[in-house]
Amino acid sequence: MITIKDLSKSYDGQKMAVDHINLDIRDGDIFGFVGLNGAGKSTTIKCLVGILEFNEGEILINGRSIKASPMECKKDLAYISDNPEIYAYMRGIDYVKFILSVYNRPYDNDRVVALAREFEIDDVLGNLVSSYSHGMKQKLVLMAAFLHEPKLLVLDEPFVGLDPKATHMLKTMMKDYAAKGNTIFFSTHVLEVAEKLCNKVAIIKNGRIVVSGTMEEITQSSSLEEFFLEVNNE
Amino acid sequence: MNKFFLLTKAFFLAGFSVNRRRNSQKPVFQQLGIFALIFLAASSFYNFMFFFGSMLGPSSEEGGVFGVSGDKETVIYVLSMAAFIAFAGTFSLMQNTLFGGRDFEFLQSLPLKTSTVIAAKITAVMLFVIGEDLLIFVPTALCYLIKTGDGIGALISLVAVFFVSFIPVLISCLLGTLVVLITRHLKNQNIFQVIVYGLYFLLIIALSFAMRAKGAASSAISNVLPHIKLFAGALRSNDPVQLLLFIGVNLGAFALVVLFVSLLYKPINSIKQKAGDGRYRVSRKANASVSSALFRKDMMMIFSKPGLLINSVMGPVLFTIMGIFVQLIPTASEDPEPARSFSVIALVPLFAFMLNSMTNAAAASISLEGKNFELLLSYPLSPANVIRSKIISALLLPSGISLIGSIAVTVIAFLKQNVDAYSIPLIITVLLAPQLSLVYTTIVSVLCNLRWPKIYYEADIQVVKNSKSVLFATLLCMLPSLTIGVVVFILCLLAPIAGLIAAVVIYGVMITVASVILRKKGNRLYIGVVSR
């Protein structure tokens, strides 16, 4: 599903935010991307979804280059940023309709209401997004992403701001979604979640991939948290 | 006191993007060159504003170039105009600086007095206005000094520049605070604020025309802004005591307003908008095309941001008002001769070119996406789709108002017999000119915003009023539009058909060139918005 070859990105032409990284993620994978603050997780994700241009390398989504065919690649993915500060002047329902229109998907009110009920935001869909709490915005963005059924879900810190119930529900939804053959790529600081949820993981440090592989390979002798701290203390 | 200076510096740097310029990697001589260029361009812009203001003052027959005679009177007049422009221009700026930011909770959590925060916020705006006043005043001061050699007078005037806009800004501050206080809990507060702003501007224009009808410019302005009388007295008699009194009055007014706004700051920011009952209706057309979904989103954005809405409608509304007032308000000659009537309607395209070139809402439309621009880039949307939507949404409202305005101006021209059947080309120019100028301004504004985007900011006003994109859009639209306006005006007086052809050809070429640049560079600039 995702192939990243020799990806490099520098903001100022000198310091590399992402330095020649390579990743291979298959259909049905739940891929955890972990690293310290400023390690290069968000930059990699923004390059992956076509927000940032990159200096070197190639990113293929479903065999298509994000540089050469951005529109086709973007049709297959949904990106959820770490900051759910979406259009404050829209009502929740307007945002949902907007996303469905952008992805050329039909609006099905029953489905919208059912999913909103699962996320427990069905009673506020008619309110302005500006009146939502951080967690409610996060739920709305997640709900809209699931509605247009992308083959690839890219999430930057998806559990930040969610209440325990919503976190549990999201984890379940992610598992079910991947079980259908879709791919999930997400960054997180919550290593316990990554360990339980992901079948593959990569640790990034100073823009470089330090280790990448299946969860079993990485956690053979220790937990992901211990391994992560060991890697970052070196 | 230290906290006050620290906060003022922080608000000023944040509000007017000074830090970005300070961190620039460009060589010193290049930075100086850019600064000189911006200074010259801004000077020209403000001197055009001065020219615009002077047109509202008394006519040249009443004495002097701007209706003022004597060097000292000219200095007083220029400073009075600066104060008047501050009075007209800081209403929404002040309102947004005080109540539009997202820093309320953060500031409240710090060990700071509310009055210190308010004083710092108002001072940050004052500093910006003083900068503008200096741009207006420096050329006049130099001329005055060279011509008269009166050092004390020049010094008094220079001191006055730092205080002359205090009271107008404070009045804006009070009005802005009261409007927010009244409208804060309303569902359609944005629309209400825009209406209040429109009425406020209408009042200012009416006041300007009233001044024109009454008499000498500086005395007329000082009747509106009486504190200027003190400064005028100080300059006329080179009296430092009056100057000190002038400074004292301004600082006293500043202290009172700070105290007043401090009392309201917390209650106003604590009022929460009603969340609503969460109910909604699904329209029959729930499935929209990509273009219409984008357009709908952009229109929602325009209507949700008072500053942007004001920028969208101010030009067409003002040119309509000017076009009507200039025909209805009597001037020195009560019985207009045919030649004068003709010149009055020929002024309308000039007004339209000049005022519509300020309709630069599109220069902030991409910046206002803020962090959402990253999301926009992750959607399967072509740059052309987004750019087209920005242009159409920015054009729709002002061009509608401008068309209605043109028709109203034309109807009045017919009723007042300011045009006749032989002036059909002139009427077509009056109907067409505003639309042409709006199309040009919108395309150039979008280009400027793509070139100088600012998607990380604290308050909307920072991108709506003070961003580099808005500044360049204003310069790139206003300077050529004024030049074309004057050319078209003169040609319209000589032969209306020539004026019409000139307007269509010149604007046609400019619109074509701007469109070609947008088509060629738009995609590249769009993709680079986040990277830059």
3-state DSSP helix/strand/coil percent for chain A, to nearest 5? 40, 25, 35
Distances (CA, A) of B104 to B113, B119, B122, B263: 13, 15, 15, 14
Nearest Cα neighbor of A121 from A97, A154, A112, A109 is: A112
Q: Are the beta carbons of B217 and B58 closer than 8 angstroms?
A: yes
Do the Cβ atoms of A36 and A206 come closer than 8 Å?
Answer: no
pLDDT over 70 at A69, yes or no: yes
Per-residue confidence band for B57, with pLDDT thresholds at 50, 70 and 90: very low
Distance CA A39, CA A22 (A): 15
- Which is nearest to A151 in space by CA: A94, A108, A95, A103? A103
pLDDT of B139 > 80? The answer is no
Q: Could you count the other beta carbons within 10 Å of the beta carbon of residue B509?
A: 10
- pLDDT at B341 (0 to 100): 57
Distance in angstroms (rounded) separating the CA atoms of residues B281 and A93: 9
pLDDT classification of B505: cutoffs 50, 70, 90: very high
Same-domain pairing of A123 and A226? no
Distance CA B385, CA B374 (A): 16
Q: Which residue of A has its CA nearest to B371?
A: A85
For residue B532, what pLDDT band results from cuts at 50, 70 and 90? low
Instruction: Kindly report the number of other CB atoms within 10 A of residue B224's CB atom.
Output: 17
B52 has pLDDT over 90: no
What pLDDT was estimated at residue B252?
Answer: 93
Q: And the tokens for A186?
A: 């997400």
Does pLDDT of B355 surpass 80? yes
Question: Does residue B80 register a pLDDT over 60?
Answer: yes
* Cβ atoms of residues A91 and A129 within 8 Å: yes
- Give the SS3 label for residue A42: helix
With bands split at pLDDT 50, 70 and 90, how would you rate the model's confidence at A61? very high
Sort out which chain B residues have CB atoms less than 8 A from A133's CB and list them.
Answer: none
Tell me if A124 sits within 8 A of A132, measured CB to CB. yes
Q: Which of B108-112, B383-387, B393-397 has the lowest mean pLDDT?
A: B108-112
For chain A, the straight-line distance linking the first and the last C-alpha, in angstroms and rounded, comes to: 32
The whole-number average pLDDT for the span B58-80 is: 59
- Average pLDDT of chain A, as a whole number: 89
The pLDDT score that the predictor gives to residue B386 is 93
Residue B297 structure tokens: 């989103």
Which range, of A218-227, B161-170, B181-190, averages the lowest pLDDT?
B181-190
Q: Can you give the pLDDT at residue B40?
A: 63
pLDDT at B55: 47
Neighbours of A86 (CB within 10 A): 21
- Please identify which residue in the block is written with the tokens 């949307």: B381
Angle, vertex CA A175, rays to CA A230 and CA A29, nearest 5: 60
Nearest residue, CB atoms, B293 vs list A83, A93, A101: A101
Do A183 and A98 lie in a common domain? no
Hey, which residues does A77 pair with through a beta bridge?
Answer: A152
- Nearest CA to A185 out of A218, A221, A156 is that of A156
Lowest mean pLDDT among A42-46, B145-149, B371-375: B145-149
Instruction: Find residues 347-406 of chain B whose CB sits inside 8 Å of chain A.
Output: 370-372, 374-375, 377-382
Flag whether pLDDT at A103 surpasses 50.
yes
* B289 Cβ neighbours under 8 A, 6+ residues apart: A101
Task: Give the pLDDT score at B31.
Answer: 62
Q: Are residues A66 and A159 in the same domain?
A: yes
Residue A127 Rama label (left phi>0; alpha psi -120 to 50; beta):
beta
Q: Evaluate whether B376 touches B369 at the Cβ level (below 8 Å).
A: yes
Concatenating the DSSP letter of every residue in B414-462 gives: HHTT---GGGHHHHHHHHHHHHHHHHHHHHHHHHHHHHS-----SSTHH
For B461, phi then psi, to 5°, come to -60, -30
Question: Higher confidence at residue B445 or residue B358?
Answer: B445
pLDDT per residue as tens digits for the range B377-392: 999 999 999 999 999 9
Judged by CB atoms closer than 8 Å, whether chains meet at A102 and B381 is answered as yes
Average pLDDT, chain B: 79
CB B201 within 8 A of CB B315: no
Q: Out of A52, A81, A101, name the one closest to residue B290 (CB).
A: A101
A181 and A99 both lie in a single domain:
no
Is B460:B93 a contact under the CB 8 Å cutoff?
no
Q: How many CB atoms within 10 Å of residue A173?
A: 18
Considering the domain architecture, whether residues A165 and A216 belong to the same structural domain is answered as: yes
Q: Rounded CA gap, B493 and B525, in Å? A: 42
Q: Which two tokens stand for residue A195?
A: 């360990």
CA distance A10 to A16: 5
**Same domain for A101 and A204?**
no
Segment A20-42 mean pLDDT: 92
Chain B contact probe: residue of A102, A104, A138 with most B CBs at under 10 A = A102
pLDDT band at B66 (very low <50, low <70, confident <90, very high): very low
Q: Do A214 and A162 share a domain, yes or no? A: yes
Among A164, A216, A224, residue whose Cα is nearest residue A188: A224
Q: Predicted confidence band at B60 (pLDDT cuts at 50, 70, 90)?
A: very low
Quick one: average pLDDT of A131-157?
90
Interface residue ranges in chain A relative to chain B, Cβ cutoff 8 Å: 11, 46, 49-53, 71-72, 74-75, 77, 79, 81, 83, 85-91, 93-94, 97-98, 100-104, 106-107, 109, 123-128, 130-131
> Does position B63 have pLDDT exceeding 90, yes or no?
no
Task: Please report which confidence band the pLDDT of residue B56 belongs to, taking 50, 70 and 90 as the band edges.
Answer: very low
pLDDT value of residue A230: 84
| CA–CA gap between residue A1 and residue B389 (Å, rounded) | 33
CA-CA distance, B264 to B200, in Å (whole number)? 22
- Number of structural domains (chain A) is 2
DSSP annotation of A128: B
Strands A200-205 and A208-214, how do they pair? antiparallel
Residue in the block written with tokens 């000190």: B244
> Could you tell me what percent of chain B has a pLDDT over 70?
80
Residue type, B299: M
pLDDT for A183 equals 94
How close is the nearest chain B Cα to the Cα of A13, in Å? 12
Nearest 5°: the CA angle B298, B301, B302 is 90
| Residue B415 exposed, middle or buried by CB count within 10 Å (0-12, 13-18, 19+) | exposed
Same domain, A99 and A111: yes
Q: Is B381 in contact with A51 (Cβ distance < 8 A)? A: no
CA distance A128 to B501: 49
Domain range for A135: 84-149
Range with the poorest average pLDDT among A64-78, A175-189, B460-474: B460-474
Interface of B with A in 292-331 (CB under 8 A): 292-294, 296-297, 300-301, 303-305
**Contacts with B523 from chain A: Cβ below 8 Å:** none
What type of residue sits at position B197? Y
Q: Which residue has the higher pLDDT, B354 or B294?
A: B294
Residues A147-166: what's their mean pLDDT? 89
Residues A224 and A165 in one domain: yes
Cα distances (angstroms) measured from residue A176 to each of A115, A188, B113: 14, 19, 53
A118 and A159 co-located in one domain: no
Closest chain A residue to B285, measured at CA: A107
CA angle B470, B473, B474 (to 5 degrees): 85
Question: What pLDDT does B109 receive?
Answer: 76
Spell out which residues of chain A touch residue B292, defining contact as CB-CB under 8 Å.
Answer: 101
Q: Yes or no: say if B157 and B141 are a contact pair by the CB < 8 Å rule.
A: yes
- Domain termination site, one of A125, A149, A173: A149
Give the number of other Cβ atoms within 10 Å of residue B516's Cβ.
10
Give the Cα separation of B532 and B529 in Å (integer): 6
Contacts of B297 in chain A (CB under 8 A): 87, 90, 98
Provide, as residue numbers in chain B, all residues whose Cβ is less than 8 Å from the Cβ of A124: 275, 278
In total, the C-beta contacts within 8 angstroms joining chain A to chain B are: 103
Q: What's A43's domain CATH number?
A: 3.40.50.300
The residue out of A93, A114, A149 marking a domain boundary is A149
Same domain, A165 and A197: yes
Domain finish residue from A106, A129, A149:
A149
Which of the two residues, B530 and A116, has the higher pLDDT score?
A116
How far apart CA B324 and CA B414 sit, in angstroms, is: 12
Q: What is the pLDDT of residue B1?
A: 66
Strand ordering across the sheet containing A208-214: A77-80, A152-156, A183-187, A30-35, A200-205, A208-214
Judge if A196 and A110 occupy the same domain. no
The 10s digit of each residue's pLDDT in A199-210 is 999 999 999 999
